[in-house]
Structure 1
Amino acid sequence: MEVMRTLHAVIIAVLVTAIIVGGILYYFLSTAPKPKANLLEIYHWWTSGGEKAAIDALVAVFQEKYPDVGVIQSPVAGGAGYVLKAVMKSMVAAGEAPDSFQIHAGYEMKPYIDGGYLEPIDHLWAQQGWEEVFPAVVKDMVKWGGHYYAVPLNIHRANVLWYNKKILEQHNIDPASLETWDGFFEACEKLRREGITYPIAMGGIGKWEIAHALEQILISQGVDFYQDLINGKLSDPNDPRLVNAFNIFKRYMDYVNPDYATLTWDQAVAKVIRGESVFTIMGDWANGEFLVANKTFNVDYGAIPVPGTKGVYVLVVDCFQKPKGARHPENSEKWLIVVGSKEGQDAFNPIKGSIPARLDADINKYGPYQRSAIQDFKNAQYMAPSIVHGSGAPEKFASAFNDVASAFASNRNVQEACNGIINAIQAAKNEYVKEWKLIP
């Protein structure tokens, strides 16, 4: 009987001990911090077929190097990134920034710099030797207060005039004759006489498409003039170069499809592809639209610098950076290293239609248009940042610039537009913090 009582006591003691130990283990297991998932979350605005294929190719390079990291892509549709900008500003302000997000180099970065939302990445630039492989203007576009805050992935050219080559041949128009505005408008008039009423295709549903065309016309008035514009140094609404630019734009609009305000940029390009129009001014992301339509460069279509801009390369530079408070900071830096690598850029850009921001590209990986663009880039007399695509001027001016362009396309009032440009410069006067030096 005594043995049984002892046995019961031992069993009870064991059970009590198990319950206590189990409770302690449960407490620590349920309250101890759980390890973070090994992830990388990136935001971008590349959602069309060719764009998605390009970013997927870049992600594939990353995952080959870091197979243990899961990549979450969060694309936000919207031409030129205007939708993503609004989304990202609210996210970073709320402390919810992803590990990296797409941004244009230049002034588009300034609100994030001013808000303290980005980490300087000088150590990565030093480790990876990026100082030696990116051109000076591009380096300046991602540097603020003496520190690097982003890594350039690609370069698009903004000042491109695309044309339907077969239609020009049918009407005996030599593309070389389009290098001046007089020659270009003579070609437009000839095409109109011969049955193509609106030879220029343009979109305008987002306003920026109109501003994009105006920007290239302004650059055609001289790099010194454009340098003064983006440095906020124009003050006279009667400046003959400014007036002449709007007179050119007024004549340009005479040949534009009347439904421009209802079309996106790619729908305008499609009009050229179909032969409904002959010309369109758009960045070289348009090349992808021709390729998707199974058109061959220099057979079905061609491209030259916008009239008056030969020797100028207007830069649209896409970048990624490291937000402050990124959930996976080590993976954020790994991503930036791949973005800035030769391997990453030569995987992404041949598909995207852009050229690499690095100067040591493997040119054999690129198509005929891109090979010509790489050569033009290396030989460019001038490089200039785009206002419309976030780089060249303060956001306050760029927004007003879009409005001025859109209003002018409708009312064609030259004096009102010139006044609007000068007023927009004055309103943003305190925000011009970069001194662009475009002329060597």
Structure 2
Amino acid sequence: MKRGVVLLTVLCLLFAGATALGSSPNELVVYHWWTAGGEKEAIDALFEVFIDEHPEYSIVQNPVAGGGGGILRAQIKTMIMAGNPPDTFQITYGHGMISSFVSVLQPIDDLIKGYNIPEDVYEWGRVDGVMYGVPLNLMQNNCLWYNVDLVEELGIEMPIKSLDEFLGVCARVKAEGYVPLAVGAGMGQQFWLGTLFEAVNSALSGGGADFFVDYYAGKTTPSESEVFIDTLKVLRALIVNGFVNDDWSALTWDQASDLMATGKAVFYIMGDWAKGHFTSMNMVPNVDFGYQPFPGTDHVFIGHADCFVLPIGVDRKVAKDWIQFLTTVKAANTFCPIKGAAPFVLDAPLDVYDDITKEILGYFRDDGVAKVLSQFGAPPESYLDVFGTAFSEYFNSPEINENTLGNFDYAYEEVFLF
């Protein structure tokens, strides 16, 4: 039996008879990781609308800092083992991540009947045909953000069409004394290097959807994959040529985005939640900052979503009302515009969204664009930590040799347990 299954089986047994932390039946105890910029503003607005519709309830929110939710997930597991689950908590929406928690979650199919989202979005999160999380916001990961003033000052023509062209532009930017590409993967956030890996990989021949469908299913050997090695080569070029900031390992994702926002760096690779951070700084889309899919990846949409789940042992009306509320157009159009995300709900009016979000949603709804569930949802939960460490070690010593490839093989085996 796999170790993850053993752990969750134990947790499931501990959940028997567990009760939520709320001291009152009208308190909704929520754990989430939205603490930065537009993210915090978005979830606060969502709570406010929920309370407007349900004035009999109150919110006890417990934000846990740490992009990507790694710190929160560890805390939730501790609470589960203590028999004190919250009413609901946030995890990344995707079959891999949800499978890592499924033994301690309640099915919610009956609560979200009629949720008007695309069928393939349901499939992203189903585990053995069952829904356990309600997806709230669509996010594109392979976004290239840029400082409009610097792009104009340096005479860079946008959009950049290919990876080779992007590397050439980075060389020009460095020669002018600016940081070409802002990167932040410190403070326990090494997994952001995986987002960079996904973007670069998808710009290469044989990468993107063709690669990730097997890679995130445990069917790849990194040292034997030509496109995996080619991706490492491009990452090495970014590092050894000085195209990224020297302090990448000391910055969080939002601190790295600030390098671009304040004119120290020209480009930044991050999901579209970065837009919410920029607008929270009073930056205007397509005026102060711009967007395009990472060069060479306009044929692929790397994405994921956030969702809320119901732990086993929680049988409170307030928690179920929360899950049902999240399926409404009002919830989507309250939360998503502030966070910088796009709505899944097919009948959500789009007049409240800026042009960048509309463009991103257009990519997602284009049948000619391949959809890839990102590292946050497709592989098992352990991938983020294990490969975050592996990529961080590689960034610190970017040599491609037998030892390096062996380390990636070992990490892959650890995640997929074979």
TM-score (norm 1): 0.83
Quote how far apart the aligned CAs of 1:395 are: 2.4
Is 2:109 the counterpart of 1:109? no
Amino acid at match of 1:283: G
Find the partner of 1:237 among 220, 223, 226.
223
Amino acid at match of 1:199: P
Structure 1 stretches of 5 or more lacking a match?
1-34, 432-440
The aligned counterpart of 2:14 is none
The aligned counterpart of 1:194 is 176
Quote how far apart the aligned CAs of 1:172 are: 1.5
Counterpart contact for 2:163–2:203, Cα < 8 Å: no
Is 2:40 the counterpart of 1:52? yes
Separation in 2 of the partners of 1:395 and 1:75? 20
Quote how far apart the aligned CAs of 1:141 are: 2.6
Change (3 A) 1:50 1:397: closer
| More displaced stretch, 82-91 vs 166-175 | 166-175
Change (3 A) 1:48 1:400: closer
Partner SS for 1:199: strand
The aligned counterpart of 2:284 is 296
Deviations 1:16-67 (A, max 9, x none): xxxxxxxxxxxxxxxxxxx953222111111224222211221222222221
Separation in 1 of the partners of 2:90 and 2:120? 19
Counterpart contact for 2:142–2:301, Cα < 8 Å: yes
Counterpart contact for 1:95–1:325, Cα < 8 Å: no
Partner SS for 1:343: helix
| More displaced stretch, 275-284 vs 356-365 | 356-365
Counterpart contact for 2:93–2:306, Cα < 8 Å: yes
Amino acid at match of 1:117: V
Change (3 A) 1:94 1:141: farther
Identity of aligned residues (%): 33
Partner SS for 2:223: coil
The aligned counterpart of 2:249 is 261
The aligned counterpart of 1:357 is 344
| More displaced stretch, 374-383 vs 402-411 | 374-383
Deviations 1:232-275 (A, max 9, x none): 21126142211111111111223111111111111111111121
The aligned counterpart of 1:434 is none
The aligned counterpart of 2:88 is 100
The aligned counterpart of 2:128 is 145
Find the partner of 1:74 among 30, 51, 62.
62
Separation in 2 of the partners of 1:430 and 1:313? 28
Quote how far apart the aligned CAs of 1:195 are: 3.1
The aligned counterpart of 2:11 is none
Is 2:310 the counterpart of 1:310? no
Partner SS for 2:348: coil
Spell out the pairing of 1:74-223 with structure 2 (5 A cutoff).
74-106=62-94, 107-113=96-102, 116-126=103-113, 129-130=114-115, 133-176=116-159, 178-196=160-178, 198-205=179-186, 206-221=189-204, 222=207, 223=209
Separation in 2 of the partners of 1:170 and 1:429? 47
Counterpart contact for 2:143–2:291, Cα < 8 Å: yes
Counterpart contact for 2:273–2:341, Cα < 8 Å: yes
The aligned counterpart of 1:17 is none
Separation in 1 of the partners of 2:292 and 2:409? 30
Partner SS for 1:144: coil
The aligned counterpart of 1:281 is 269
Change (3 A) 1:195 1:63: closer
Quote how far apart the aligned CAs of 1:72 are: 1.5
Change (3 A) 1:111 1:242: closer
Structure 2 stretches of 5 or more lacking a match?
1-22
Counterpart contact for 2:36–2:277, Cα < 8 Å: no
Separation in 1 of the partners of 2:391 and 2:329? 38
Separation in 2 of the partners of 1:236 and 1:69? 50
The aligned counterpart of 1:27 is none
Quote how far apart the aligned CAs of 1:430 are: 4.8
The aligned counterpart of 2:308 is 320
Partner SS for 2:49: helix
Counterpart contact for 2:390–2:411, Cα < 8 Å: no
Quote how far apart the aligned CAs of 1:138 are: 2.2
Separation in 1 of the partners of 2:110 and 2:28? 20
Change (3 A) 1:230 1:240: same
Q: Which has the higher helix share?
A: 1
Separation in 1 of the partners of 2:121 and 2:201? 21
Separation in 2 of the partners of 1:292 and 1:52? 10
Is 2:366 the counterpart of 1:379? yes
Separation in 1 of the partners of 2:342 and 2:405? 34
Counterpart contact for 2:199–2:294, Cα < 8 Å: yes
Separation in 1 of the partners of 2:410 and 2:347? 42
Separation in 2 of the partners of 1:418 and 1:139? 35
Partner SS for 1:102: strand
Quote how far apart the aligned CAs of 1:161 are: 0.8
Counterpart contact for 1:41–1:73, Cα < 8 Å: yes
Change (3 A) 1:398 1:204: closer
Amino acid at match of 1:412: P
Counterpart contact for 1:61–1:338, Cα < 8 Å: no
The aligned counterpart of 1:368 is 355
Counterpart contact for 2:39–2:277, Cα < 8 Å: no
Separation in 2 of the partners of 1:195 and 1:363? 40
Counterpart contact for 1:211–1:406, Cα < 8 Å: no
Amino acid at match of 1:195: G
